[in-house]
Amino acid sequence: MKILMAGGGTGGHFYPIVAVARALRELAEKERIARLDLILMSDTPYDESILRQEEIIFKKSPAGKLRRYFSFKNFSDIFKTFFGILRTLWEMFLDMPDAVFAKGGYASFPALVAARVFRIPVLLHESDAVPGLVNRWAGKFVEKIAVSFQESTPYFPKEKTALLGNPIRKRVIGGNADEARRVFGLEKNIKTILILGGSQGSQKINDTVLAVLPSLVENYNVVHQCGKLNYEEASQRARIILKDFSFAKRYHPVPFIAEGDLGDLSKTADLAVSRAGAGAIFEIAAWGLPAILIPLDNSAADHQRKNAYIYVRKGAAAIIEEKNLKPHIFLSEVEKLLRDEEKMKEMKIAARNFAKIDAAEKIARELMNMALKHAQ
């Protein structure tokens, strides 16, 4: 059996693909399927080490972005996408999959075109509250559609759309608080803030955190995922800011948090501060962790802002819009939440009620059924 997965140009698409791939492996073992080949088609592999660990074959599928504003790159990307479609058609012809799992976005477009040409069944997944252009187009012809937010269902045909949530990796859910305290050197009797700037980090969030860092570490442990590109600058600035400060060791900047460490941290953290991509929201919900969401200002179709407000209306988070992200506002919101035990309890309950931790397993089961039916 071969299942092709399309997309993965960002962490928000890549990690749900990994979650579904793992669920497919478990299901294949349970169903005693002798061989399961998993293939990722995307413009870039995103994380080659994970693909090797998960035994996912990577095949390059060049794809250009369709920007919603004027750019000369739009012209060159038309040719890039055309070449990507031709290449993907040839790759699929040589190695025909039994089903396709498409995460949407520009990186999945060539594979979706090829799947339609060869009549390969497709399960499309939409992470965000507002679907992107590729998913809106593909939703007209794919066999099944899974969505993360109820609010995105009107964009797709009702009869083939199901609300399943966003696939998350099991390893980020389970964890050990003592292990997190040991690895990160966290003090035991004070609260911990976990700051996540998305898979690439966020300069805006980093600047805001550093501006109020002495006030934060005076009262809390702070684990701060700065992003690989921003880590050196952020950690150097922090050393200067906290020089000779008695609580300096409570600040723990890291470039990236591995999934096992993330699972451990989720068991000891009291508050998450995060961007509002669907992946981040559904992981935080699975943790049952109160949150402050800071949606990205210029996300496609303003999807982060819409994701954030849906989650906030459920009572699971507070929101600070990027235009309002000033150091004093950020510090005030953090302290207000962490001092309000009743509000924190309500947020935890709301987060757990929103969570859909079995999304990957449900998607894997549907994909397997589609593949078996197609192979007959």
pLDDT value for 325: 95
pLDDT value for 333: 98
Same domain, 143 and 220: no
194-225: per-residue pLDDT in tens? 999 866 668 999 999 999 999 999 999 999 99
- Helix (H) and strand (E) counts in the chain: 15, 13
Note whether 299 and 278 are within 8 A (CB): no
pLDDT value for 199: 61
Q: Which of the residue ranges 61-75, 145-159, 191-205, 249-263 would you say has the lowest mean pLDDT?
A: 61-75
pLDDT value for 66: 58
Same domain, 14 and 142: yes
For range 98-126, the mean pLDDT? 95
Is the pTM higher than 0.75? Answer: yes
Local structure of residue 288 (DSSP, 8 states): T
pLDDT value for 200: 67
What range does the domain containing 58 cover?
2-168+357-375
The total of structural domains in the chain comes to 2
Same domain, 255 and 371: no
Same domain, 233 and 349: yes
Same domain, 272 and 363: no
Same domain, 184 and 92: no
C-alpha 66/C-alpha 63 separation (Å) is 10
C-alpha 320/C-alpha 311 separation (Å) is 13
Q: CB-side exposure of 211: number of CA atoms within 13 Å?
A: 14
Q: Is the pLDDT of residue 164 over 60?
A: yes
User: Which two three-digit tokens encode residue 67?
Assistant: 């920007």
Q: CB-side exposure of 19: number of CA atoms within 13 Å?
A: 28
Same domain, 179 and 113: no
Q: CB-side exposure of 24: number of CA atoms within 13 Å?
A: 33
41-68: per-residue pLDDT in tens? 999 899 999 999 999 999 998 876 655 5
> Between vectors from CA 197 to CA 194 and to CA 202, what angle results, nearest 5°?
140
113-142: per-residue pLDDT in tens? 999 999 999 999 999 999 999 999 999 999
Same domain, 327 and 180: yes
Domain CATH code at residue 199: 3.40.50.2000
332-357: per-residue pLDDT in tens? 999 999 999 999 999 999 999 999 99
Same domain, 15 and 100: yes
Quote the distance between the C-alpha of residue 336 and its chain's center. Answer: 27
pLDDT grade, residue 10 (50/70/90)?
confident
Same domain, 192 and 328: yes
Q: Tokens 């794919």, residue? A: 142
| Helix, coil or strand: residue 98 | coil
For range 292-299, the mean pLDDT? 91
pLDDT grade, residue 71 (50/70/90)?
low
**% of residues, the chain, pLDDT over 90:** 84
Same domain, 14 and 94: yes
**% of residues, the chain, pLDDT over 70:** 95
Quote the distance between the C-alpha of residue 63 and its chain's center. Answer: 21
pLDDT value for 104: 86
Same domain, 215 and 151: no
pLDDT value for 376: 73
Instruction: Tell me the CA distances in angstroms from 291 to 199, 256, 266, one per residue in order.
Output: 17, 19, 12
Assign 3-state DSSP to the chain and report helix, strand, coil percentages, each to 5: 50, 15, 35
